[in-house]
Copies of this chain bind each other. A is one copy, B any other.
Amino acid sequence: MSTHKTSAPATARVSRANGEPVHNKAEREITMAQAVREALAEEMRRDPRVFIMGEDVAEAGTPFKVLLGLVDEFGTDRVIDTPISEPGFCAIGVGAAMTGMRPVIDIMFGDFLTLTMDQIANQAAKIRYMSGGKFKVPIVFRTTLGATRRSAAQHSQSLHAWPSHVPGLKVALPSTPYDAKGLLKTAIRDDNPVVYFEDKMNFQTKGLVPEGEILIPFGVADIKRSGTDITLVATSSMVYVALGAADKLKEIGISAEVIDPRTLFPLDKQTLIDSARKTSRAIIIDEGYERYGVTGELASVIADGAFYYLDAPVKRMGAMDVPIPFSPALEDLTVPTAETVFQAAKTLCGRS
């Protein structure tokens, strides 16, 4: 189990090169779970239309304990335990959002998106357009992604490619506590449906987060580390994998730039392309299945936008195209690691 992907630093101290408004608030080191909870609490205090709905969200605070305590402040009228009815409570969320509320719907495991795609992709995503702009559906579907928890094939998937494919949806996937807070607050204030993914393995990852208001605009990638020789585009917890690889690359004299798009839609294509133009090499690292997913999209955005600057094909590193196995001996092999990214980057830089 030594290759567990969360050999990520317990404290994520990564730069925030662009995008955020300057603030001078006190920063504290808190976990991703705390950042999420804080974002929710602040937004619920600010706006009485915001409520949380899902399985075991109230007293239990979800199985991940991320929401612990919210019910004490906001009561069971605004932190609402549901039956095990994902399609049903997502649908209720959509109807509530159309009629003046701002629901945050908790889908415990991202794997359960399979049950809710009608509500998310056929209803929430399309209602504004189908009504000619007359309705709006301000709803957040908060869910999880990420493997290596020994939870096997139906509790370990990273299905963010599906909603990213669907016009009408926005998709956010924070890697740091800072981004988690800032993106979630933005998501809740957005007048459109947002699917927001947290990596289950990152809930205990710590990072500096200001108290109070931070809003991260959607569609602004963050350069988590600057570099000149190769671009590593990484999403969610793969940012830590990429940073780990960048450390190793530095040791052999290769300077890697690590970029986190933070939102898959809207996508900050320009930052990705500019970086690849500068470094002339790129790897996309994402934990979704590799085929027909996020890596293909980002790779072709770069291959197109930086075509005349690239010295090597854009390399894609997704999760292995297999259902996620239970056995630790197998599961860790299915996800990119700092080591496999390091090797791929080395090769791409002609240093095999």
Please state if A167 and B126 are interface contacts (CB–CB under 8 Å): no
A315 to B: closest C-beta gap in Å: 8
Query: Is residue A152 within 8 Å, beta carbon to beta carbon, of the partner chain?
Result: yes
Docked-complex contact A154 and B126, CB < 8 angstroms: yes
Given the complex of chains A and B, what is the CA–CA distance between A30 and B310 in angstroms?
48
Which residues in B have their C-beta under 8 angstroms from that of A112? 118
> Are A289 and B114 in contact, CB atoms less than 8 angstroms apart?
no
Min CB distance A132 to B, Å, is 9
Which residues of A from 243 to 300 have beta carbons under 8 Å from B? 264-265, 267, 288-289, 291-297, 299-300
Band of interface residues on A = 35 or more
Most buried by B among A161, A264, A288, A296: A296
Q: Which residues from 287 to 337 on chain A have a C-beta closer than 8 Å to any C-beta of chain B?
A: 288-289, 291-297, 299-301, 303-305, 307, 310, 312-316, 321-323, 325
Given contact pairs A115-B118, A299-B303, A300-B303, A152 touches B130 in the complex (Cβ within 8 A): yes
Per the 8 Å Cβ criterion, residues 107-146 of A in contact with B are: 111-115, 117-118, 121-122, 125-126, 129-130
Query: Which residues of the partner chain B approach A313 to less than 8 Å between Cβ atoms?
Result: 303-305, 307
Q: Which residue of B lies closest to A265 (CB)?
A: B291
Assembled-state Cα–Cα distance A167/B334 (Å): 12
Which of these, B165, B292, B307, contacts A312 with CB under 8 Å?
A: B307
Set of chain B residues within 8 Å of A162, measured between Cβ atoms: 117, 162, 165
Q: Which residues does chain B contribute within 8 Å of A264, judged by CB atoms?
A: 292
A161 with B292, Cβ < 8 A, contacts A126-B153, A167-B321, A313-B304 known = yes
Tell me the bound Cα distance from A257 to B328 in angstroms: 47
Interface residues of A in 166-214 (CB under 8 A from B): 166-168
Shortest A202–chain B CB gap in Å is 22
A168–B164 CA distance with the chains assembled, in angstroms = 21
C-alpha spacing A296/B300, complex, angstroms: 6
With a cutoff of 8 Å between Cβ atoms, the chain B residues found around residue A305 in the complex are 313
A129 touches B322 (CB 8 A): yes
The residues of A with any CB-CB pair to B shorter than 8 Å are 111-115, 117-118, 121-122, 125-126, 129-130, 152-154, 161-162, 164-168, 264-265, 267, 288-289, 291-297, 299-301, 303-305, 307, 310, 312-316, 321-323, 325
> Nearest 8 CB-CB pairs, A to B?
A114-B118, A303-B303, A296-B297, A114-B117, A307-B313, A299-B300, A164-B292, A296-B296
Q: List 18 A-B contacts (CB under 8 A).
A: A114-B121, A114-B122, A115-B118, A126-B153, A126-B154, A161-B165, A161-B292, A162-B165, A165-B293, A167-B289, A167-B321, A167-B323, A267-B291, A292-B294, A296-B299, A300-B303, A303-B304, A304-B314
